[in-house]
Structure 1
């Protein structure tokens, strides 16, 4: 394709302006000029309060600047995430075959560690020590040792 403005190699872009959707064939330079003009018409550029990234930066690179960007640009990012991953809900990974029957024990150990850390932060040393002993017993069970 050839840019309709300058004749250099170009790409096809879908542009929405004044409620109308149209396709344009522009080179990267002419497209940047078109975007700059659109930004001036829209007013100030919204930037992530944590890292300063603008949504135009995401559109150009396909990368967000930080975790806060996902919250701040949620409305703009959700359609892209849905298209790329098929869903906007994170399901995570399940443990591999090596976790096997220890999976439940590993989950319980993680839960106990979290609870123990909360107890330590609150200053409940006795409860934290009780949880520490339970974690030791779980570690032994995970290794296959008798307690």
Structure 2
């Protein structure tokens, strides 16, 4: 479909206005849409602005300006307020300095604050064992609540063996 305005370019902007049950459709190319006063284009997408917006909306209660201004990174001196504006850290220590403010953001974005995704192959055995232990602990709790004590004892022993293997593995790597 060609642009209704210039008739030359492909129409990439399609707008439908409904005013008093009257439908008015416009099909314009990007250039003509920018020239038109009907559209307000802000084509500059910034990940920093996106993250700053998430930071502002991630708080449960009101934020005291004094607290935000007083919070700074111990290593690079970046103020938390500056981080909120730019969405950029000054150094790797900023993660630790701003941890209390970041954890709610991570929970909001990812649904949790621990990594549960793919794991590098080298670390896979360690992480896989930890996940297995967590799964077995949940099964153990369930078995105890159902009063299946023999099964619970087996699960307990399996958890202990896995934890011993983890400890041995970490001692060998040290």
TM over 0.5: no
Q: Normalised by the size of structure 1, how large is the TM-score?
A: 0.36
Largest Rg, 1 or 2: 2
